[in-house]
C-alpha cells in the first residue's frame, strides 16, 4: 500500500504548515498518508504569492500562458496511470470508471481553456458619431477555488484551467477527504514550469480552517465553489464582506424520465450509469427514476436485475463496478436514508445492505446499489440529496405529470429524458428546471456549453465563453475620433 505525505504548494514550494490529518483509503479505512491543515498563515502566504505573481502572469501574452498550460496538460496525460490510481486511493472510485477517459478529460480542462483564451477576441461598436467603443477582457486577480471530494481532479482542473488561461492566479483549497490528487497536480504544474505563485494549493477543512480563511481574505477577488448547497450559503455570507465575485456549482437531485417508447436495453444501460456512476456520489446523477406506466414493470424487472449484477468491492479490480463511499460518516448518512424509507410504505427491491467482503475490504465504506419503489415524490428520500448508490423508481402516466414530479424538488442541476419521440424530447427538455438535460444518454458534455444549476443547485454558469465572462473583467474603452 502506498503512503502519501501531502504538502501545501505555496509560491512554487512544497511546504508543511499546520497540524497534519490522516488520509484514509475509503475501501479499507486504512491510513494511507497525511496532509497538513492550512490556517490563516498558509492561506495568507498563498494569497500574497498569488497577488505578486498576478502582476506578471496577468500581463503575459495569452499564447505564452497557453505554452505553459499545454506543458501542464501534457504532463497530466503522461501520468495517466498514476493519476487513475491516485483518484482511486483518494475517492474509492473504481479504476474501471477512472480508466474511461477521466485523465484525458482532466488534461482537456486545462488545454481547452488555454486555446480558448488565445482564439477568442472581443467586441467593438463604432458609433454614428465616429467614436469607437471596444471591450477589453482582463483577468480579475486572485481566484480562490474550493472543490469537493467526489470527482476531485476533474472539478479542480475545470476551475484551474479557465482561471489561469484568462490570466488570473489561483489558490486551490481541495476537499479534506481527497488531498492527494491536488498535491499531484501541483507537482505536475511545477514540473511544467508554471512561475512561482501562479498556482497554489492550501489543504485544510472548511469552517475555521483554510476554506473559510480563503473566502474571507480581502485580497481574493473571486471564488469558484463546488460543493453542498448549505456550504455555498455560508460562503456567500462570508464573501459578501469583501464583495467577491462568486460562481456556485451546488447539490443536485436529478430526475431520469423514461417514456414507454424507449428501447429497454438502452434505457437500462443509461439508467445504470445515471444512477450508480461514482457510487452515486455524483451531483449530476439521476437518482429519481420516473417510468411511464406502460413500461414500468418491464423496466423495473430489468433494472433491478442489472443492479443486482453490479459487482461491489475492490476498486482496483478492473471487473468491479461499484467502489467505496468516501467515508464511514457518509456511509452512515446514506444508510440513514434507507432507515427513513423503511419507515414508510416504500419497498427496497435491490440492495439496502452491505456486501460481505474479505479483509481488509470488510473495513471499507461499501453499500450495495439500492433500488427503492413505492416512495411518494414528497418524501425525504425523493427530495433530499442522498449522494450514494440509492435510487427511487416511480411511475407516471403522462408528460405533464412527469414534468411536475421532476420539477418538484428544490434542486435543478441535471436531468435525463429517455424517449424516441423527438417532439416529446424537445418539449420535456424545455420544461424541466435544470441546468443540463441529457436526452437518451448521460454525462456527455462539450466544454463550450454552459454548465451550472438552477434553483438551489447553483449560481452562474461556467464553460466556454461563460467561463471567460466569470474569470475576466469586461472593460469598455471609448475611443474619441478627435
Whether 217 contacts 235, CB under 8 Å: no
Using the minimum distance from each CB to ligand NAD, give the nearer residue, 175 or 194. 175
Cell numbers describing residue 469: 465572462
| CA pair distance 233, 84, nearest whole angstrom | 33
- Answer yes or no whether residue 139 interacts with ligand NAD by CB under 6 A: no
Q: Answer yes or no whether residue 458 interacts with ligand NAD by CB under 6 A.
A: yes
**Site track 359-388 with ligand NAD (rule: CB under 6 A), x = hit:** --------------------------x-x-
| Nearest CB to ligand NAD, comparing residues 147 and 169 | 147
249 annotated active-site: yes
The footprint of ligand NAD on residues 265-294 (CB under 6 A) is: 283
Q: Which of 111, 249, 385, 433 is catalytic?
A: 249
Q: Which of 197, 364, 389, 453 binds ligand NAD (CB under 6 A)?
A: 453
Minimum distance, C-beta of residue 459 to ligand NAD, in the bound complex (Å): 11
Specify whether the CB–CB gap between 39 and 160 falls below 8 A. no
Catalytic residue among 283, 382, 385, 433: 283
Rounded Cα–Cα distance for residues 423 and 353 (Å): 41
For the chain, the distance separating the N- and C-terminal CA atoms, rounded to the nearest angstrom, is: 72
Tell me which residue of 327, 7, 46 sits closest to 211, measured CA to CA. 46
- Which of 159, 173, 203, 244 is close enough to bind ligand NAD by CB under 6 A? 173
283 is a catalytic site residue: yes
Q: List the grid coordinates of 193.
A: 514550469
Beta bridge partners of 417: 257, 439
SS3 291: strand
- Other C-beta atoms lying within 10 Å of the C-beta of residue 415: 28
Neighbouring C-beta atoms of residue 22, cutoff 10 Å: 11
| Segment lying near ligand NAD (by CB under 6 A), choices 3-11, 208-216, 290-298, 375-383 | 208-216
Pick between residue 144 and residue 364 the one whose CB is nearest to ligand NAD. 144
Residue 54's φ and ψ, nearest 5 degrees, are -60, -35
Is 180 among the residues that bind ligand NAD (CB under 6 A)?
Answer: no
Report the interface residues with ligand NAD, using CB under 6 A: 146-150, 155, 173, 175-176, 205-207, 211-212, 215, 226-228, 231, 234-235, 249-252, 283, 385, 387, 413, 453, 458
Residue numbers annotated as active site: 249, 283
Amino acid at each position: 500500500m502506498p503512503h502519501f505525505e501531502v504538502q501545501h504548494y505555496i509560491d512554487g514550494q512544497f511546504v508543511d504548515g499546520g497540524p497534519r490529518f490522516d488520509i484514509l483509503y475509503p475501501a479499507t479505512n486504512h491510513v494511507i498518508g497525511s496532509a497538513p491543515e492550512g490556517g490563516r498563515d498558509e492561506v495568507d502566504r498563498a494569497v500574497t504569492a498569488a497577488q505578486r505573481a498576478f502582476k506578471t502572469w496577468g500581463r503575459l501574452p495569452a499564447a505564452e500562458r497557453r505554452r505553459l498550460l499545454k506543458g501542464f496538460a501534457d504532463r497530466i496525460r503522461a501520468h495517466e496511470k498514476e493519476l487513475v490510481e491516485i483518484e482511486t486511493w483518494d475517492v474509492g472510485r473504481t479504476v474501471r470508471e477512472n480508466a474511461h477517459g477521466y485523465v484525458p478529460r482532466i488534461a482537456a480542462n486545462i488545454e481547452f481553456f488555454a486555446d480558448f483564451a488565445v482564439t477568442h477576441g472581443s467586441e467593438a461598436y463604432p458609433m454614428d458619431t465616429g467614436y469607437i467603443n471596444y471591450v477589453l477582457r482582463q483577468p480579475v486577480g486572485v481566484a480562490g477555488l474550493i472543490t469537493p471530494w467526489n470527482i476531485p481532479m476533474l472539478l479542480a482542473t475545470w476551475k484551474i484551467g479557465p482561471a489561469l488561461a484568462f490570466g488570473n492566479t489561483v489558490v486551490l483549497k481541495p476537499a479534506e477527504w481527497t488531498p492527494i490528487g491536488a498535491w499531484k497536480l501541483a507537482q505536475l504544474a511545477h514540473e511544467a514550469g508554471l512561475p512561482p505563485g501562479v498556482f497554489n494549493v492550501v489543504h485544510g477543512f472548511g469552517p475555521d480552517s483554510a476554506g473559510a480563511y480563503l473566502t474571507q481574505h480581502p485580497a481574493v477577488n473571486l471564488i469558484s465553489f463546488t460543493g453542498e448547497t448549505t456550504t455555498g450559503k455560508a460562503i456567500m455570507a462570508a464573501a459578501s464582506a469583501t464583495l467577491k465575485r462568486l460562481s456556485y456549482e451546488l447539490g443536485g437531485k436529478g430526475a431520469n424520465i423514461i417514456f414507454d417508447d424507449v428501447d429497454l436495453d438502452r434505457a437500462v444501460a443509461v439508467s445504470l450509469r445515471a444512477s450508480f456512476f461514482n457510487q452515486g456520489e455524483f451531483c449530476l446523477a439521476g437518482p429519481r427514476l420516473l417510468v411511464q406506466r406502460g413500461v414500468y414493470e418491464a423496466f423495473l424487472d430489468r433494472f433491478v436485475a442489472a443492479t443486482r449484477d453490479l459487482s461491489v468491492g475492490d476498486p482496483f479490480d478492473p471487473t468491479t463496478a461499484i467502489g467505496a463511499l468516501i467515508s464511514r460518516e457518509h456511509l452512515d448518512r446514506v444508510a440513514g436514508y434507507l432507515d427513513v424509507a423503511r419507515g414508510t410504505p416504500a419497498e427496497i427491491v435491490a440492495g439496502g445492505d452491505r456486501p460481505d467482503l474479505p479483509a481488509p475490504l470488510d473495513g471499507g465504506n461499501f453499500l450495495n446499489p439500492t433500488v427503492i419503489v413505492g416512495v411518494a415524490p414528497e418524501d425525504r428520500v425523493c427530495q433530499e440529496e442522498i449522494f450514494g448508490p440509492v435510487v427511487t423508481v416511480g411511475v407516471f402516466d403522462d408528460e405533464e405529470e412527469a414534468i411536475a414530479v421532476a420539477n418538484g424538488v428544490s434542486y435543478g442541476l441535471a436531468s435525463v429524458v429517455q424517449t424516441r419521440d423527438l417532439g416529446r424530447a424537445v418539449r420535456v427538455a424545455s420544461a424541466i428546471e435544470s441546468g443540463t438535460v441529457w436526452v437518451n444518454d448521460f454525462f456527455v458534455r462539450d466544454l463550450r456549453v454552459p454548465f451550472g444549476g438552477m434553483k438551489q443547485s447553483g449560481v452562474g454558469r461556467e464553460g466556454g465563453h461563460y467561463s471567460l465572462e466569470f474569470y475576466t473583467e469586461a472593460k469598455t474603452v471609448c475611443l474619441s475620433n478627435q
